[in-house]
Every structure is written in C-alpha cells, then in structure tokens.
Amino acid sequence: MNAHDLLWGMAPAQLPADAPAWAVEAISAGHPVVVRRALVAPGHVAVGVRGRLREQRFATVMPLAQVTRRVVPEALGAVVLPRDLPALRALEHLRPLLGQHAWGVAGSAGFELATGIEALHAHSDLDLILRSPERLERGDAQRLLAVLDTAVCAVDLQLQTPFGAVALREWAGRSRRVLLKTCGGAQLVADPWQAVA
C-alpha cells in the first residue's frame, strides 16, 4: 500500500470511540479511506477518512485483512467525468503532456474520479503524484513545473521517491534543503532520493 491509495472495506465498528459523527457517516455510506504516511502495527495500514468539508479529515488505522478493494492514483489518470470544473479541465489539458510519466491523481479529484462522489468545487486544486524511483534533476523539475503552470487551476504535484514524497514546486525551487514526507514524519533533506538517517 502506498500513500494516496484508496481502500474500501472499513467498517464503522473499526473506528475508534472518539471518531466524529461525520467520519462514522462516511464509512457507513461505504466511502473509501485514503492511505496516509505513518508508522503502524504490522497487519494494519494508516488511513484517513474524508468528510464533505475540507477540514473534515480523521486519521486512523485499518486492518489489512479488511481491505476489499484498492484503487491507486495511476488508475485514475484516464478517467473522465462529465462535470465542468477547473480541476477537471486542468486534468484534461495535462493528460497528454504527462503521458510518458508514471503519474496519477490524488486529493479531491482522485477521490471523485474513483467514487463518483462530488468532492471537487470551482476553486479546487488538482493534486497529482509522480512515481520517481530515479532522481529527477532540478532542471527537469523546473521544466515539468512550467508545464503544470499552464493549467487553468493550481496544480500540486508530489514526487514519490523511494524514501518519501517531496513537492515538485519545492524541488524545482532554489532551497538547498526540501521537506521530505516520510512514514516517520517530515524532514528537511538535501536529496529526497537518499535514505534519511
């Protein structure tokens, strides 16, 4: 399981007692949970429950044995929805430009593409991930960012390295160190493709 994968199969009874009512409602309605980065016990996966509102996010864990279906971000790049929203127009525009990369859709757009549940609005960003097992040079990152910046809405792309995730916009910038999100937390690193000590 990787961060941003969507998982189905969690039951309301698996939520902790302090889970908010909206989270219980989402799980009861059969909504998937989103894999997140965190260290958890063997046989479990760290997940987040999404509510209708942006601030409605609840972190919990899910037993791997309960997973009945998994959708990865890469499976959503070709999905087309009939709604006319900036994030979906941006996806349509970028799809042929990203074709040669191992990329996928995450965030609200990924959730809506995978479920059909309306999660996007007129001011939503488009969240993308790019699998980057090999180092992406900073000049290449700047060129890719220039492509993303031609879209009709803000596009946030995360580079998924073997050691965590770094924002493309940050890696394309001038800072010597960048924020790498790992299962053990976020760390400032000089090279996101090197193991964190």
Integer CA distances (angstroms), 98 to 12, 25, 40, 42, 77, in order? 38, 36, 33, 35, 10
Q: Which two tokens stand for residue 166?
A: 């770094």
From 5, 18, 84, 125, active-site residue: 125
The amino acid occupying position 57 is: R
Measured from the Cβ of residue 187, the count of other Cβ atoms closer than 10 Å reads 16
Burial of residue 83 (CB within 10 Å: 0-12, 13-18, 19+) is: exposed
Measured from the Cβ of residue 145, the count of other Cβ atoms closer than 10 Å reads 17
Instruction: Write the CB contacts of 138 (distance below 8 Å, at least 6 apart in sequence).
Output: 171, 172
Burial 54-67 (b: 16+ CB within 10 A, else e): eeeebebbbeeeeb
Tally the C-alpha atoms within 13 A of residue 93's C-alpha that lie toward its C-beta.
17
From 5, 127, 156, 191, active-site residue: 127
DSSP 165: E
Active site residue 125: yes
Positions annotated as catalytic residues are 125, 127
